[in-house]
Copies of this chain bind each other. A is one copy, B any other.
């Protein structure tokens, strides 16, 4: 067929999302659909005052993970957890999952057992159930998971609810997953240089490797916030990197923000890795992806409750849109904060974006997760 051929990478990440949305524009919209493409998950009315949310995320060998790094049980866990993270970012709890798995010829029953054990473990930990799926042969291992969750209509939190005067908060710490990736890549390189076949050493730098290979969705945090009587005004999960997610909230809420760099938590082990590689710890914390913590905003009067809640930190403030997204540190003062790791479609790999540093020319577009 004599069609013209324009590479997808030429569109860029947002160009691709916009173009997909254009093609879908004249599909009639259901009156029960509250949020379609444009947040961590789609949201629709389910009845009895409850909303359901649905999200889908795919993990592809050679793009999102390297099978020499990650035991299949961790991969199964991670595939569920990254989707639960999107559900939790709507302030919802996960209910059901479907899994579509493509298994290459060099995938054994033992590996598959590990994969399903990991998924089962995550399902138990997060209280959801795997209710259906489709398994097929494929050219490489891929896992596409869809998770459905629920939230009372009055409790749902979008990316778009932040207001000037709100405070910017996050759970846990950031940069660890990227530090873990650095360690794993370095281990592989060293072993390859010695001519030995690679086997990951999961004991060194346990915390950061765990952050990379077996991330945790923060269902515990939305429960803790509820117990503390705090309803975030906006929320997103930190999958692409902290700076990128602040930009998402800013754009969807039509606000600016200032991130106070010294207030952004990182683990000592993350710092040790950055030091070992002579890297800036701030770059890990701001631009390293895949930590799956929650970034959220709260009203000023809720800040004392946040201060009393374990595992969450106030890291900045919400300001007028015209001020843009900025970072403050005593050394540099106020500086524009670019999203980085963000517009990575068609560009060179960014820090922490994915496990594959030498994969194909574009990474991924989660178009339920971008403010199109």
Contacts and interface: CB of A to CB of B under 8 A. Distances in A.
Interface stretch (A37-45, A243-251, A332-340): A37-45
Contacts of A111: 3
Copies of this chain in the oligomer: 2
Contact of A360 (B105, B112, B134, B362): B105
Which size bracket describes the interface of A in this complex? 35 or more
Interface stretch (A47-55, A212-220, A271-279): A47-55
State the main secondary structure of chain A at its contact with B. Answer: mixed
Contacts of A64: 136
A46 interface: yes
Contacts of A134: 56-58, 144, 364-369
Interface stretch (A115-123, A171-179, A289-297, A299-307): A115-123
A237 B11 CA distance: 39
A44 B95 contact: yes
Contacts of A30: 95-96, 129
Interface centre among A32, A98, A120 (most CB of B within 10 A): A98
A19 interface: yes
Nearest to A100: B144
B136 A42 contact: no
Contacts of A103: 8
Interface string A5-28: 111101100001001100110111
Contacts of A138: 60, 63, 140, 142
A359 interface: yes
A1 B111 CA distance: 11
Nearest to A133: B367
A361 interface: yes
Contact of A24 (B47, B56, B120, B127): B120
Interface of A: 1, 3-8, 10-11, 16, 19-20, 23-24, 26-30, 32-33, 36-37, 41-42, 44, 46-50, 52, 54-58, 60, 62-64, 71, 95-96, 98-100, 102-103, 105, 107-113, 116-117, 119-120, 123-124, 127, 129-140, 142, 144, 146, 148, 199, 359-369
6 contacts: A20-B116, A30-B96, A30-B129, A41-B132, A42-B98, A135-B365
